[in-house]
Every structure is written in structure tokens, then in C-alpha cells.
Amino acid sequence: MAVEPTLQDVLQARGIETHGMLALRVALHPADATNVFQTTADVMKAGQLSNYMRMQEGRRLGPDNLVLCFAEEPFGTARLFDVRRFRARRPGIAPGDLVYDPDLVDLLQNFIGRTKRPTFYDVFEPDARLEKAYASIAGFFNSLVVHWPAPVARIVRKVGHGGLRVVAPAMAS
């Protein structure tokens, strides 16, 4: 049986420099669930996963990193849905677009009630120096699927982590 290529192998084979890139696995925390958002898939279907990923327990993402954002899927896999740069806000300061979004009220309150260090991020499209990488990676949105290494609760990994294996057959070629 052939071994699946690593995420880094697949990106580098397409000329994408992966140094300093991070992978973020976005999964609905059980304590954040609401009547409307029971699963990560519910959050994704409502178009709110890009907002939910901006709520983190403590500082995890650096402002200079290009972050590949993956949505949790069954059986330890995750699907690429976005690429962004993140900048943490001052502790406790939530962005207005999250605070005043009526669809996020319960999710946001549950997140704040659960976390010890709620950290909110502003997100940015990659700047000019990362534009080529962004354009190349954007072609993988919703089709690139990786196996997320254990423990899956560790939601931030370097793109070069050997356990991030591409499992979608079309992506490996």
C-alpha cells in the first residue's frame, strides 16, 4: 500500500514555499454548541466557520504566518476551506462583526463562557509577498483533504508536520 504524501510534499511539488506556514483545524467545541450549531458541519453550512475560527483559546497564531484553515471531518480528516493571516486583538476585545452578528450570539457567548483566555483575531488576505502562494492554494479549497495527526485536539500544526497526510486521491498526483 502506498503511503499518502505529506501536505508539505503536495504544496512544494506545486512550487509553494511552506516555510512558516501553519495548518489550523477548525472544529466546533462541544461546549460551544447551540440549538442551531450542533456540529462543525452546521457552522460551515451557515457560512460561519470563517468567523468561528477567529475565536481561539489564547494566542496560537502569529501575524506573519500564512495559515491554511481546515474544517473538521469524520474519521480524523480535515478539509481545506480558507487561507488567511491572523492578527490577535488585545485580550477580551471581540470584533464588532462577531459581536453584532445575530447568528453568532449564542455561539459567541458559549465560547466566552468556556474559555479561560478568549482571544479574538482579525483576519487578512495574504499580502503581496504571499500572493502567489495564496493563488496556488486557493485552487485546493474544498477538495484538499488531510489526515489530522493525533491528538486531534492539537488544532495548530506546522504545515511541515509529517503526520499531515493528503488523503484525497486527486490531490496526491
Report how far residue 79's alpha carbon sits from residue 89's, in angstroms, rounded to the nearest whole number. Answer: 27
- The parts of the chain modelled with pLDDT lower than 70 are 1-2, 126, 128-130, 169-173
Residue type, 84: R
Smallest CA-to-CA distance from 98 within 52, 59, 63 is with 52
Contacts of 141 (CB under 8 A, 6+ apart): 80, 81, 82
Helix (H, G, I), strand (E, B) or coil at 41: helix
Q: What is the pLDDT of residue 173?
A: 42
Q: What is the pLDDT of residue 1?
A: 56
Q: What is the pLDDT of residue 157?
A: 97
Q: What is the pLDDT of residue 170?
A: 46
pTM score, whole prediction: 0.91
H/E element holding 98?
helix 96-99
- Note the pLDDT tens digit of each residue in 13-33: 888 889 889 999 999 999 999
Q: What is the pLDDT of residue 23?
A: 97
- Note the pLDDT tens digit of each residue in 49-73: 999 999 999 898 988 788 999 999 9
